[in-house]
Amino acid sequence: MNIGKIYLIIFSFFFYGICASNDSLLTFFYDSLKNVYLKEYQKCTGDSSNVSFKDLINWKKQINIFVQTHSYKEMLSLYISQKNYDEPILPCKVIKWAQERKKEQNKNEKLLIHQLIKEEELNYAKKEADSLSKSLFDFDSIPFGISKKSFLVLAENKYNLKPVDMDYYIYFNALPLGGRNFLIAFYFDKKNYKLYKYEIESVPLEPSQFNRAVRSDADYIANEFEKRFGPPLRRESVGFFDIKSNILTPYKIWKADGFDAVIVGFSLHEHKYYSKALVVKTSSQ
C-alpha cells in the first residue's frame, strides 16, 4: 500500500479521535483501509465484486510476503528496464507481467525444440533417401525401399499435407501429379514397413461419363508417365464391358527391370468407373 495513504489514514484516525466516539473511529479506520485494499485488488484482478475485508487482507498479505523475496526483486528490476509506465508500480502487475513473459518464453522454447526435432528428422530422412537406389518410377524423387517414417517426413516437407494413415498404407486425397490432383496411396511391406508400391486413382464417375471424363483421366496419367518413363511397351484397347469390379484392366503397360507392374488402366467400384495407375517394385525377399 502507498505510504502516503497509510499516513493519511493514521492522521485521520487521530483527528477523528478528538471528534468522534471509539466505535465511529474504528469504523472509519476499517472502511478507509478496506477501500485502499479494495481499489488495489480491483486494479490487479479486474474483479469488481464485493470482496470481504478478511479476503482482502489475506490477498494483500500474500502479495507483501512475495514482494520481500529475491525473485520479486529480479522481476521488478527487469520490469523497470523493459516497461514504460506512468502510474505507480503495483506488485501484482509486475508478477502478472513476469508470468506472461515466462509463458511466452516457454512457448518459444517449445517451438524451437519442435523445429530442431523436425530438422533432425528431415536430415535423417534425406540421408536415408540418398542411400537408396533411384529409379525413373520413383514418385516425386522419393525412392522405393524408404521406411514409412522417413517417407512421412519427406512427404510432409514436400506437400505440407497430412495423409490418412491406415498402418501398412497411407493415402492423400488430393496429391499433385503434374498440374492436377489425384488420390494417391503408398504401400509399405508389413514386415519392415518399406515402400514398395503406389497407386493413383481418379474420381469415380457414373457410367455415362466413362468415355469422356474417365478415359480423359487415364490419358492424363498415362501422359505424365510417358514424360517420366518414356513410351509404354504395350497399349490395350479397352471397351466399356472389359472393365470388372475391383480389378485393374490395363490400358497402357510399361516394362522395367526390378518392377512387377507399371500400369495405367481402369477399374469399377460400386457401379462407378475410374482410372487407376499402379507401380509395384519387385520384392527383394
Residue 142 lies in a domain: yes
Of 75, 97, 119, the residue that ends a domain is: 97
pLDDT of residue 25: 57
pLDDT of residue 74: 86
What is the average pLDDT score of the chain?
86
Domain that holds residue 268: 134-281
**DSSP strands (E only) in 125-258:** 164-165, 169-177, 180-188, 195-201, 234-235, 249-254
What letter does residue 62 receive in the DSSP assignment?
A: H
pTM more than 0.85: no
pLDDT of residue 84: 62
How crowded is residue 280: how many other Cβ atoms within 10 Å of its Cβ? 17
Same domain, 183 and 249: yes
What is the average per-residue pLDDT within 226-233?
A: 93
Q: Which residues contact 28 (CB under 8 A, 6 or more apart)?
A: 12, 13, 16, 20
Same domain, 89 and 175: no
Distance CA 172, CA 162 (A): 8
Helix, strand, or coil (residue 253)? strand
The C-alpha cell that represents 240 in the structure block: 466399356
**CA of 212: how far to CAs of 29, 47, 134, 236, in Å?**
92, 69, 36, 18
What is the average per-residue pLDDT within 215-221?
A: 96
Model confidence at 18: pLDDT above 50 = no
CA torsion sign, 191 to 192 to 196 to 200? Answer: positive
Number of domains in the chain: 2
Same domain, 47 and 151: no
Q: Which residues contact 50 (CB under 8 A, 6 or more apart)?
A: none
Same domain, 64 and 152: no
Same domain, 148 and 274: yes
pLDDT in tens, 153-178: 999 999 998 899 999 999 999 999 98
Distance CA 72, CA 27 (A): 34
The C-alpha cell that represents 195 in the structure block: 515402400
**CA of 42: how far to CAs of 45, 48, 89, 267, in Å?**
5, 6, 15, 71
